[in-house]
Structure 1
Amino acid sequence: MMMNLFSSFDPSSNWSMSLNWLSTTIGLMIIPSSFWFIPSRSTILWNKITTTLHKEFKTLIGENIKGSTLMMVSLFSLIMFNNFLGLFPYIFTSSSHMVMTLTLALPLWLTFMVFGWINNTVHMFAHLVPQGTPPVLMPFMVCIETISNVIRPGTLAIRLSANMIAGHLLMTLLGNTGTVMSTYMVSILIIVQIALLLLESAVAIIQSYVFAVLSTLYSSEVN
């Protein structure tokens, strides 16, 4: 039983079980089977999407680190898959939890920082002071740039989880009011819910794309 509205995002609130995290691995049972069939329209569409993302990430990262675009495309696919799973009834939205989003963002950022400070130390120091900064403001700019660099994994994680929670909460709030509405208002509510569902589908794609692109930009800064 849910004690408050946010309990719908608690993995142990549904059926008193913590097995809802298994929704993250459902794709391992569904996706590989598509490789054994004749390429369908959905497979061709997905190949075009991954090819387009590969070209864009390659432009952002450059050709210095080969194979890094594969990691970013895989990150985009994982986040988008989990975002879409949360739109189905009774399926736990794992991407709305900081446990998952921080698990994705923190190791990426930490890896970029360690690689940058070990291999390009002078370049990393130069990033702390923007070009053209007056000497008087240099100590303040170093503090500001350091803080903005440290909070990057937190902003990545909070942006993804907050956007996924916001839409689901709005749909839940509107859905709970349907029991006290008239038949005419319920029909309007259904249309609004369908529109919100389409909006959440777009948000699921946009947020996974934003997460992957920002991670790519952070990696390009340390080269």
Structure 2
Amino acid sequence: MMVNLFSVFDPSTISNLSLNWMSTFLGLIMIPMSFWFIPSRYTYTWNTTMINLHKEFKTLVGYKTINKGSTIMFISLFSMIMFNNFMGLFPYIFTSTSHLSMTLTLALPLWLSFMMFGWLNNTKNMFAHLVPQGTPPILMPFMVCIETISNLIRPGTLAVRLAANMIAGHLLLTLLGNTGPMLSLPLLLILITTQIMLLMLESAVSIIQSYVFAVLSTLYSSEIN
């Protein structure tokens, strides 16, 4: 029974085992099958997208030898988030990226690893990031406080941005869908058209939010060099 509107985002449990989180691992089931498929337009499009993302992330991270192979991590992050975002658009499938427990699990270890690596290996550079270039001397103490706070809230903003965007669209779809049984036929046709348009918008948001998450993570990693 739905306690409140946000109950639709609660994972259902069977004998204290939240089976809905298994939607996160459905992609692993589909990967082996792709090795046996004849290359199609879908696989060609996906490979082209990954190559373009690799080039873009490589430009953002930099061409230093210490960063070789790091773009693979960000491409994998983009792929996993986008897959989970799209899985949430199917009926009766749990949207794992709408929960902070999922998004924080992705954002916090990334941010912590970047910070630990930066402060241990490039301490002077990390201190230099606390005071932007051209800051007047009288404003330097305030800028250090502002930059420190903005740095500390980065994992939170990454996690909340992804979760909030996923929740907002799903809530709107749920609210409009619940009014369907009470509408007349002409209004029902308008509602179905609106729902289809919203679903298309949510598909675009799923791609955009996964791209934003991966790009911001890439930019944060480029600051530690």
> What range is the shorter-chain TM-score in?
over 0.9
How many Å apart are 1:211 and its aligned residue? 0.1
**Which position in structure 1 is the counterpart of 2:115?**
113
**Is 1:189 equivalent to 2:181 in the alignment?**
no
**Which position in structure 1 is the counterpart of 2:204?**
202
Which amino acid in 1 is paired with 2:82? M
CA spacing shift, 1:194–1:17, aligned 2, 3 Å: farther
Which of 120, 140, 158 pairs up with 1:156?
Answer: 158
Secondary structure, aligned partner of 1:36: coil
Q: Contact (CA 8 Å) 1:21, 1:94: kept in 2 or not? A: yes
Q: Contact (CA 8 Å) 2:13, 2:19: kept in 1 or not? A: no
Q: Contact (CA 8 Å) 1:11, 1:17: kept in 2 or not? A: no
Paired residue total: 223
Distance 1:69 1:35 in 2: 23
Distance 1:38 1:131 in 2: 54
Which amino acid in 1 is paired with 2:118? G
Percentage of pairs with the same residue? 74
How many Å apart are 1:136 and its aligned residue? 1.2
Q: Contact (CA 8 Å) 2:20, 2:94: kept in 1 or not? A: yes
Which amino acid in 1 is paired with 2:11? P
Q: Deviations over 1:84-116 (max 9, x none)?
A: 000000000000000010000000000000111
TM-score (normalizing by structure 2) = 0.97
Structure 1 portions without partners, runs of 5+: none
Which of 84, 105, 108 pairs up with 1:82?
Answer: 84
Secondary structure, aligned partner of 2:35: helix
How many Å apart are 1:15 and its aligned residue? 11
**Which position in structure 2 is the counterpart of 1:217?**
219
Structure 2 portions without partners, runs of 5+: none
**Which position in structure 2 is the counterpart of 1:9?**
9
Which amino acid in 2 is paired with 1:179? P
Distance 1:39 1:133 in 2: 55
How many Å apart are 1:40 and its aligned residue? 1.3
**Which position in structure 2 is the counterpart of 1:29?**
29
Runs of 4+ in 1 over 2 A off after TM superposition: 12-17
Distance 2:167 2:13 in 1: 16
